[in-house]
Structure 1
Amino acid sequence: MSDASEVLVAHGGIAHLSTLRSHGVRPEHLRKLLDARLLVRPRQGWYALPSTAPELLQAVTVGGQVSCVSALRLWEVWCIDDHRTHVRVPSNAARLSKPRTVVAHCAAHPGVDRSSAIVGIVEALAQAFTCLSRENIIVALDSALNKGLISPHQLTEIRGLVARRYHPYFRPVDGERESGLETKCVLRLHRLNIRCRVQVRIPGVWPG
């Protein structure tokens, strides 16, 4: 029998019963952990550690997955915080009951994806085009590429997922900048027709 806590940690602190069972976790083990308050059940069939990120718990509670900028923050992509939880919900969830702090993104298909409580980073970045400004989406793409969270091939994949009017946003993205503020600085200098180089190596000074 697998330990439920270990499986949950490996899945970001939250998982569906089907996932837990596939790892050998027995229902009676889950009941004992619930009784001992070592687990919480945010929605029927879902189990989580009490320390799980609030965004994940809230998304599962309303029947969806953390998505868009909320997912990017959990992926540690440099991204603005609008203090709301962005959630992908099934296409048949038109009457979703949700608090004002939740932003719903409709999936292309009906039914709940039980494989994870958070969408993949490629989907999250594609969704963010509808919620972020041009500058902030370039920052997010640059951050994800710099951190190695996406590959150049996946960057091209994201380009194919968004509307053509957004395609020019990809031109300045190269992953060379190590912070969102640095990316914003470069973008604003370029708007003023000021050319600059980033991460310049200075012998004996930087990097050490």
Structure 2
Amino acid sequence: MDALLQFLHRRGGVARTRELLAAGVRERDLARAVNAGMLNRPRPGIYALPGADPVLVRCAATNSRLTCLSAAEHYGLWTLRKPDKVHVLRPDGMFSSERAVVHRRSWVSGQQDGWIASKADVVLHALGCLPELEALVLVESASRQGISLDFLRDRLPGRRNAGARRILDLVDVGSESLLETLARTHLRRAGFHVEPQVDIRGVGSMDLLVEGCVDVETDGKEHEAPRRRLKDYRRDNTAQSLGFAVARFGYAEIVRRPESMVSQVAAVVEARLALGGLPNSEDL
């Protein structure tokens, strides 16, 4: 019985009868587990642990896989929000629901009998489904994990995929967080020259160097720790001693008020350029 429960835990709490039998579980053991309340049988051919995610149970019942925004967390991909609908891959297209977004095409097979689409499918579905900036942060995180932009672009031919290819054109592999990606994109669209992750001797890596003179830092929650803040103060002081202006922004400003963030950076850049004597390129 322990082997049965361990197998189900590895499968996310849900399995089909054929998978259990193939793993050496006997039908009488399944019946005993159900009678003892250790397993549920939500529908014929499906067994689940009590408390199993109903979304996974639904995937098992409809021969679907989680994909797009619903599978991003599984792969550690950057997202701006939780999905308001479940995104599933169902190649036969038979499953439909007001609570689900159904993706019908698969490019790369996922794990056999798994409930999650392959990472490639997740990214490709996001490129064709999510709003531009949401798709951009997701695909940039995937590129950091090794997914090739050329691989993605080759699978998005034709006019109907032009929007997805435009998102790929915005990708810059230098960003180390979704906040950097968003800030960089908003600033470039405002007409600024922006270089991500520029290493400065004595300072370290600047998140975004704007117009060669303003260090824009994008601060996630990790910057709230007292020890990290002290480190930030020291590096900012060093950057300013070298002639760089420094501007820091948190999640709320970058994600919810990007226009304000851009206008503040514009003011800092204008003030720094008015001073003249820009930082020497030899410091880069």
- Bin for the TM-score computed over the shorter chain: 0.7 to 0.9
Give the aligned partner of residue 190 of structure 1: 188
Identify which of 122, 136, 145 aligns with 1:124: 122
| 1:137 matched to 2:138 | no
Give the Cα–Cα distance (whole angstroms) in 2 for the partners of residues 74 and 81 of structure 1. Answer: 13
Gaps in structure 2 of 5+ consecutive residues: 205-229, 236-284
Residue type of the partner of 1:52? Answer: A
Match of 1:156 in 2: 150
The corresponding residue for 2:76 is: 76
- Of Structure 1 and Structure 2, the greater helix share is in 2
Q: Distance in 2 between matches of 1:75 and 1:41?
A: 29
- Cα contact 1:64–1:87 (8 A) shared by 2: yes
TM-score normalised over the length of structure 1: 0.76
Corresponding residue SS for 1:41 = strand
- Could you say if the C-alpha distance between residues 177 and 88 of structure 1 is closer, same or farther in structure 2, counting changes exceeding 3 Å? same
- Once residues 4 and 32 of structure 1 are traced to their aligned partners in structure 2, the CA distance between those partners, rounded to angstroms, is 11
Unmatched 5+ stretches in structure 1 = none
1:32 alignment partner in structure 2: 32
Measured at CA, do residues 60 and 170 of structure 1 come closer, stay the same or move farther in structure 2, by a change above 3 Å? same
Q: What's the Cα RMSD here?
A: 3.1
Please, which moves more after superposition, 180-189 or 72-81? 72-81
Would you say the 8 A contact 2:143–2:173 is kept in 1? yes
Deviation at 1:126, TM superposition (A): 0.9
Higher radius of gyration, 1 or 2: 2
Deviation at 1:114?
Answer: 6.6
Q: TM-score, normalised by structure 2?
A: 0.58
Q: Alignment partner of 2:88: what SS?
A: strand
Question: Which of 169, 172, 179 is the matching residue for 1:171?
Answer: 169
Which structure's residues are more often strand, by fraction?
A: 2
Separation in structure 1 between the aligned mates of residue 152 and residue 71 of structure 2, nearest angstrom: 15
Q: Deviations over 1:49-102 (max 9, x none)?
A: 334334322333444222222122333322233311112224262xx4x54212
Count of residues in correspondence between the two structures: 197
Identity %: 26
- Match of 1:103, SS state, is strand
- Conservation of the 8 A alpha-carbon contact between 2:16 and 2:60: no
